[in-house]
Structure 1
Amino acid sequence: MDLRRLRHFVAVAEELHFGRAAERAHVVQSAISQQLKLLEDELGFTLIRRSRQDVSLTLLGEVFLPEAREILQRTEEAVRRLKASASGIVGRLSIGFVDNVLWTLLSPIIRDFRERWPHVDLKLIPMDRGVQVEAIAAGTIDIGMIPAPSHLAAAVRTEVLISAPLMVALPSANVLALRSKVEMAELAAEPFVTFPCK
């Protein structure tokens, strides 16, 4: 079914005047009449009663009008969503993250993202660093949020989102706790807890 014919039918049905419908559709009146006749022939029903004094909808025209409006509206919405999808405004984005990112960095990023792209479906997946790297390489997630990357594939691009000084927490009885600065090498023999390296 030709959408142009539907648009012309809706214009005539709403204006109940071929001249005004033609002006609204930016075509000549004969084009409106011709397209309406073709639509009626295609459907096998008369939709519009025409006389010298009056233009009105038949009963079947009244039934068909809301359906035609809905078809046109859904078509416009489909085109709008297609264009939005092509420009990245709608779609799906999968983000892997380590737990501590959720409480610090991720929340404001998600809030800002939702404000800019409300129709993008976000999927947040908690993952260890190594699992995220593998998932990015496999294409199962789009973005990974991890502590400073270790060995990443050349195809994986990294971007620093935030940086902070590395801190060490020591028992007060430890001799290194009295110092304001500690070199990494000095911690080599100390037992400590940190992010997993893989």
Structure 2
Amino acid sequence: MELQQMRYVVAVAETGGFTRAAERCHVVQSALSHQIAKLEKELGARLFDRTSRRVRLTPAGEAFLPAARQSLEAAERAAAEVAAATGEIRGTLALGAINTLASVDVPGLLRDFHERYPQVRISLTSARSELLAEQVRRGTLDLAFLGVTPGFRAKGVRSRTLVRDRHVLVVAPGHPLEEEGAAGPLELSRLAGETFVDFAAGSHARAQTEEAFAAAGLHRDVAFEASHWDFLAALVRNGMGVAMLPSTFVSQLTGLRVLPVRDGPRREERLVWSATRLTPAGAAFLRGLGEGPEEAAETAGREGAGSAGSGDGA
């Protein structure tokens, strides 16, 4: 069994066809088909059902695919570790970030990193904080930038707080609250009667505002839900309701009025990385942010003992 055969199987599974897989792997289709057939003979089982219209994994193929991916990842990591031992950084940097990140210029960081380590392939994932933290813990991501409540703790990751912030209220121009907000911070009790636009119920992105109102003994009405900040902002801009967003982020929005809130939801932006496994590329990126082994060991003691808590994707 050869790694190249595993690459071919993964390519067929991901592209859905032998022709597209051969194009991805830069080989002729006959060579790819021959190698997969050879592998199937060795395994004693067909990995794909082939028809004139489609190619799909057999039960044996479904069982083989995860192990093949893990083997390829392990081989790539081994090669990267050897290269790192000789002073060369290569492999893959897998980075995650929330879509409302404000404390870090991720595109700029990646540009600088690519210029310094051109042999490293870079992937960037955007998702909610709790999902990103879990992917870092599992080793799917090297590092991630999160937006979380101050009490957030996650097992298996180390972290550094980048900025501490509070939410502010955003409203459409001409909203009745605009004049009141100009006179000073609004009380949460004043906002409880407003119609809100927020992230989906049950998401940690929504938990920060929910917790702030609950702590004040207040209830609010969320009439509209959005999965992304740009749609949420568009709903507010069109007068469908008001919303609370991090103060460090709202400067990027246009066509909205930003009003201060007394005792608004608190939020931290954090960088997290694996407490147990970090690729050479991930370690190089971390060093570029000024996080060395000593700092990593210190934060590991603080974060590794915690348990999962509330986070958010905003």
TM-score by length of 2: 0.29
Give 1 or 2 for the bigger CA radius of gyration.
1
More helix by share: 1
